[in-house]
Amino acid sequence: MEIKRIAVIGAGTMGRGIAEVAAVAGLDVLIVEVSESQRKLSQTQVRKSIEQGVRAGKIFAGGGSGTTADAAAAADVISSRIIWTDDIDAAAMTKFVIEAVPEEESLKLDVFSRLDGVCPPTAILASNTSSISLTRLASATGRPDRVVGMHFFNPVPMMAPVEIVRAATTSEDTVETTRRLAEQMGKQAFVVQGRPGFVVNRVLMPLINEAAIALHEGVADAVTIDGLMKLGCNHPMGPLRLADLVGLDVCVSILHVLHRELGDKFCPCPLLIDMVQAGKLGRKSGEGFYKY
C-alpha cells in the first residue's frame, strides 16, 4: 500500500514533529489537535522549524539562492501540505494514522476506538506510545492486524530511529507498510516486539529514574550528575537534561507502566512525581531539573 497522506492525532511535542517530517518528505498531513492554543503554537513552531531547516540547508526545497525570502517561500510550500483541525472525523479518508496524544491508556483507547469508527477498514492505525501495550490498543478496534507502534524520538526532525512495534496481532503487511513509511519520512526503522517500554525506554527510563534518585538523596547536584554521565559514559546529554527534554510527565507515565508490567525496579522516584505535581515538566513548562 502506497501512502501519500497521513493523519496525526495530537500536536504536542511529538505530533508536530511527526507532521513536520512527513510534510518535508512530500506527504500531505492532516493534524488533529483538541486544544486551540496548542494548535496555534504548534503551527507557528512547525513553520519556523521548516524555515530554519531550509535556511540551514538541512531541508532541500529546490530552487532559490538561499535568501531569507527563498527560505520563507519554500517553508510556505512545505507548510501548506499540513492541514490543522480539531475534528478527528476529518481523518475519515486517511489510510495511515499516527496517534500522538498524551501517554494515558484510557485516552488512547478512546482515540483508537473513534479512529476505528471513522477510518476506512483497510487503514493502518499506528501509535507513538512509549510504553502502553499495543495489543490492548489493538483490541479497542475491529482491525487488530492493522494496529502497530511507530515510536519516534524527540526531537523528531533530528532523531533518526523509529521503533516499529509489533502487537501480538499485527500482520506482516502492516509491519512492512509502516517500515516503508518510516523510511519514506527519512527515518531508520527498527522492528521490535511489543514488550513494555520496547527497547529504548526500557533501558533509558531506569537511568533517568536512578539519576533523579541520586539527586533526591543528595549524592550530587543536577549539573554534577549530568556532567559525570556526559563525560564518564560519553553520552551527548546528561540523564536529567534528557528527562527535561522528554518531559517529566512523560517519564513518570512510562515508569508507572513499566513498574506495573515489569516490577519494582521501575518504581518512579518520589522527586519526579513531586516535580510533575508542581507543574515542573521540563522544557515544555519552562522548568524541570533546569530553568529554560
Ligand X SMILES: NC(=O)c1ccc[n+]([C@@H]2O[C@H](COP(=O)([O-])OP(=O)(O)OC[C@H]3O[C@@H](n4cnc5c(N)ncnc54)[C@H](O)[C@@H]3O)[C@@H](O)[C@H]2O)c1
Q: Is 49 in the site for ligand X (CB under 6 A)?
A: no
Q: In this complex, which beta carbon is closest to ligand X, that of residue 226 or of residue 249? A: 249
CA–CA distance, 67 with 184 (Å, rounded to integer): 28
Q: Cα dist. 38→11, 84, 243 in Å?
A: 7, 11, 21
Q: By CB under 6 A, how many residues form the interface with ligand X? A: 28
Instruction: Specify which residues 192 forms β-bridges with.
Output: 165
CA–CA distance, 25 with 178 (Å, rounded to integer): 15
Q: Is 279 in the site for ligand X (CB under 6 A)?
A: no
Q: Is 144 in the site for ligand X (CB under 6 A)?
A: no
Query: Please, what is the minimum distance in Å from the beta carbon of residue 153 to ligand X?
Result: 6
3-state secondary structure 213-225: HHHHCCCCCHHHH
The interface region with ligand X, picked from 5-13, 57-65, 71-79, 208-216 by CB under 6 A, is: 5-13
Say whether 128 is catalytic.
no
Rule CB under 6 A: which of 206-245 touch ligand X?
none
**Phi/psi at 195 (5° precision):** -80, 155
Q: Are residues 110 and 88 in contact, defined by beta-carbon separation less than 8 angstroms?
A: no
Say whether 130 is catalytic.
yes
Preceding omega of 157 cis (within 30 degrees of 0)? no
Q: In this complex, which beta carbon is closest to ligand X, that of residue 139 or of residue 154? A: 154
Out of 49, 130, 141, 177, the only residue in the binding site for ligand X (CB under 6 A) is 130
Say whether 201 is catalytic.
yes
Residues that bind ligand X (CB under 6 A): 9-15, 32-35, 38, 100-103, 107, 111, 128-130, 151-154, 246-247, 250
